Structure 1
Amino acid sequence: MSDTLDPAEQAWQRPAATPANRRRDALGALVLFACMMPSSVLYRLAGAMGEPSPLWITVIWAAVMCAALVFRRRWPSITALVVAGVYIAGFELGVSELLFSQIVLFVAMYTVGAWVSDRRIVRFTLGAITGAMLIWLAIAMVTAVTDPNVSGDYNGFGTQTAMLAYFGIQVISNLLYFGGAAYFGTHAFRSARQRAELEYRTLQLERERERSAAQAVSLERVRIARELHDVVAHHVSVMGVQAGAARTVMDANPDAARASLANIEQNARTAIDELHHLVGTLRESDDDDASAGVSTINASQLSELVAESSAAGLPTTFEVHGEPRTLPGTVSLTLFRIAQEALTNVRKYAGSEATADVRLRYLDSAVELEVTNTGLVPVKPRKGGLGHRGMRERVTAVGGEISIGPRSRGGYLVRAQIPAADTPVSPEPSGASA
């Protein structure tokens, strides 16, 4: 079965017989031939066939019928037609075997229904064989009725009535015989198709599971990359600014230099703590433990982030508008990381004279974070930068929208709006500045 073929939606082709199938067919044909020889002898001894043909004709007849079964799965229709033709020819010649020859014919007709994928060919082949057999039976019946030597052998309630009853039984028996072969063959074909459909669905589910696993790994890698970028970029940029300030005032103002070095030390410790927390979360193997290890960083720490930004040499203000409420953990973390990345970019690119404003707005069904700054605006985006892409990915992951770009009156704007459930809780200060 082709991996891309859906048996339920397309014309299904039954797979070709395997070498093992062909070996079993050859063995079955040999067994049937071995059974037909003693059976024909018993029929000859019983005198059931009147004047039987010579034994060598029966041997050739049986050999041809059984040999055809070796190819029954490779050429089902041809095999069935050959078997049916040889069957009729043998009885016209007076062969003396009525049991295993009918089994051979049944198997050949069954194979047509079970192995031919084009059902029109099935109907044509089985119909042709059935029709030929019934015509042959009708001719035999007419011959018997018109032959005085044959009709004289029948007794009962009227000679003609007895003969008609006998041939009526023959017709019914043959119809049941041929109908049974067609029914069981068709049932076998449908069962094979259902198995193929099940295998196809199983394969599709397995592939879907593999794709889902690969996507989960990719998403996790992106999340890790975002977290590492946010942690490292923010704290390293702050340490760079503080180191530059310390170097500048080291001789003229040792106290200010020591304060800058202390800030560098504090940022280094904070960065290491966050990295340890991130690595510890990634090492959790149990789902419950992993979910419990979600970062504790949230929007309530925005005021601390603003104070840290001001201490690093970027004057920054923080305002909260609306009725504060509890935010989902992912939303809260996203807001903090966006503000962190935006302030980091201001320190990198806006120049030493820049200032920044952070505003957090609680709307009816969403929360909005806005970070604006004055100062220089890069003419072209920095190639290879991950900051903007990381912010967009974070907001998209929680179903929000973000706009990033220069302001018409100068400076830069980052505005993110994220849907958030309206769940009022412990209020925060309605406004703060740092």
Structure 2
Amino acid sequence: MLAGIWAEPRPARPPVRVWRDWTLSSALVVISVVEMLLRDDRAWAPLLVGVSVVVAACLLYRRTRPLAAVTVAFGTVLAFDIARIAVIDASGLLGTAGLLVLPYALLRWGAGREVALGLAVILTWIPVTLVAEPTSPAEKAAGYGFFLFSAALGAAVRYRTRSHDRDIEQVRLRQRNELARELHDTVGHHVSAIAVQAQAGRALAAADPKRALATLVTIEEEASRTLREMRALVGALRDGTDAELAPRRGVVDIRRLTRPGGEVLGVRVQVSGDAEAVEPAVGTALYLIAAEAVTNATRHARGATGVTVGVTASHSRVHLRVHDDGEATTTSSPHAGYGLRGMAERANLLGGTLRAGPDPDGGWSVDASLPRTMRPS
């Protein structure tokens, strides 16, 4: 733990010096000069004002060079207090009260080793100044308390800011994962369909030109839909909003996955129960899971002749089953892994479950069970 604290880097992007910093430093110098002019004893006036000027100047560098500011300011006052004990008979000026700001800045903007070294300087100075300025035990406790409170406040603000930045980064990471899932499940599905249709069109080009032409029309429709959804994704990335990442789809759209067999793997869809009355988010998840499962079967099911998609709605849940009759295997393409992960994430986010793997009766099955209504977040 101590090694981690020692290696702690400085917080990024410290605030730049603004007019308020100059105003604070100037005010401390003016207060010191006015106080000196009002005193009867001005024997050590240049020294006293000089110490206040050094402290005020160090405040200007408290964010960008916190250790240097603490070392110079407290080192100057430490030397002054040692001189007070040994030679000088004079008390400090009110302008040195700016020292209270430096422990805060040290803990807020310093690196781990800078904090440790700076605190050592401060804790060395405090007992010396209490000897130079005799005080009661209560005043000594208050003196320590002021500076330790300033340091604790800086540490608290630093921790709170870091926690806030970490939360923002988590939100950004979650958004990137959502965008990646949307890209894979929507655009990736359409691109896979285009590739499959193109393969079928090439096979039919010589034997049945009319069916080949119909395949080209299907490819054009899929490409146009893909372009629209890609634009929606790019718009969400550019605007940074929580707008819909893709057009909303539902259970009714699952029927559009139906296609006859032949050159392309056939897909048969059956919907039973009141499945279309589920919440829009659940319907969208069902469609995207079904589309991804069909795409995986088309691309990876060896020896398959057809895919069956079944949607069954009960009183509280909706069940989806996608089954192909290909060769059952526990291995799959690495590209399919992203799809399986995305399907599982969609089901879990809505409080559902998903299982994908070889079916005991042969082939490969994807079984998802989702609540009809979204669980409260």
**Aligned-partner residue type, residue 290 of structure 1:** A
- TM-fit CA distance, 1:233: 0.8
Q: Is the 8 A contact 1:349 1:378 kept in 2?
A: no
Could you tell me how far apart the structure 2 residues matched to 1:374 and 1:113 are? Answer: 73
| 1:166-189: CA deviation from partner (whole Å, max 9, x where unpaired) | xxxxxxxxx69x94x985785466
- SS at 1:356's partner residue? strand
Alignment of 1:393-432 (within 5 A): 393-421=345-373
Q: Relative to 1, partners in 2 of residues 1:66 and 1:35: Cα closer, same or farther, differing over 3 Å? A: same
Structure 1 segments unaligned to the other structure (5+ residues): 7-19, 42-58, 89-100, 134-174, 251-256, 423-434
Distance 1:360 1:224 in 2: 24
Q: Quick one: which of 133, 144, 157 aligns to 1:198?
A: 157
Q: CA deviation at 1:273?
A: 2.9
Structure 2 residue aligned with 1:145: none
Letter aligned with residue 278 of structure 1:
E
Amino acid in the other structure paired with 1:419:
P
Alignment counterpart, residue 314 of structure 2, candidates 353, 360, 363: 363
Residue 375 of structure 1 aligns to a residue in which SS? coil
Asked if 1:374 corresponds to 2:333, the answer is: no
Distance 2:298 2:282 in 1: 25
Question: Within 2, Cα distance between the matches of 1:358 and 1:215?
Answer: 30
- 2:247 maps to what in 1? 295
Going from structure 1 to structure 2, the CA distance change for 1:271 and 1:237 (only over 3 Å counts) comes to same
| CA 220–85 in structure 1, closer or farther in 2 if over 3 Å, else same | same
Match in the other structure for 2:80: 79
CA shift in 2, pair 1:33/1:121, >3 Å: same
Which structure 2 residues correspond to residues 23-38 of structure 1 after superposition, within 5 A? none
Contact 2:271 2:311 in 1 (8 A): yes
How far is 1:305 from its partner? Answer: 1.6
Give the deviation of 1:83 after TM superposition.
Answer: 1.1
Displacement of 1:230: 0.8
Decide whether the 8 Å contact of 1:367 with 1:420 is kept in 2: yes
Residue 241 of structure 1: aligned partner:
200
3-state SS of paired residue (2:249): coil
CA 1:314–1:186 in structure 2 vs 1: closer, same or farther (change >3 Å)? closer
Normalised to the residue count of structure 2, the TM-score between the two structures is 0.63
281, 284, 288: which is aligned to 1:330? Answer: 281
Is contact 2:265–2:307 with CA below 8 Å preserved after alignment?
yes
Separation in 2 of the partners of 1:271 and 1:113?
64
Aligned-pair distance for 1:377? 3.7
Q: 1:388 to 1:239 in 2, by over 3 A?
A: farther
Alpha carbon RMSD of aligned pairs, Å? 4.9
Q: TM-score, normalised by structure 1?
A: 0.56
Query: 1:103: Cα distance to partner?
Result: 4.2
Query: Residues of 1 paired with 2:80 and 2:148: CA distance?
Result: 17
Distance 2:370 2:100 in 1: 64
Query: Percent identity, aligned pairs only?
Result: 17
Structure 2, unaligned stretches of length 5 or more? 11-21, 55-71, 104-117
Shift of 1:362: 1.3
Are the structure 2 counterparts of residues 345 and 103 from structure 1 closer, same or farther at C-alpha, using a change threshold of 3 Å? closer
Q: In structure 1, what is the equivalent of residue 112 of structure 2?
A: none
2:107 corresponds to: none
1:79-158 matched pairs, under 5 angstroms:
79-87=80-88, 101-103=90-92, 117=119, 124-125=127-128, 128-129=131-132, 131=134
- Give 1:86 shift: 2.6
Separation in 1 of the partners of 2:249 and 2:200?
Answer: 23
- Mapped partners of 2:196, 2:311: distance in 1: 24
Secondary structure at the aligned position of 1:201 is classed as helix
CA contact (8 A) 2:354 2:368 kept: yes
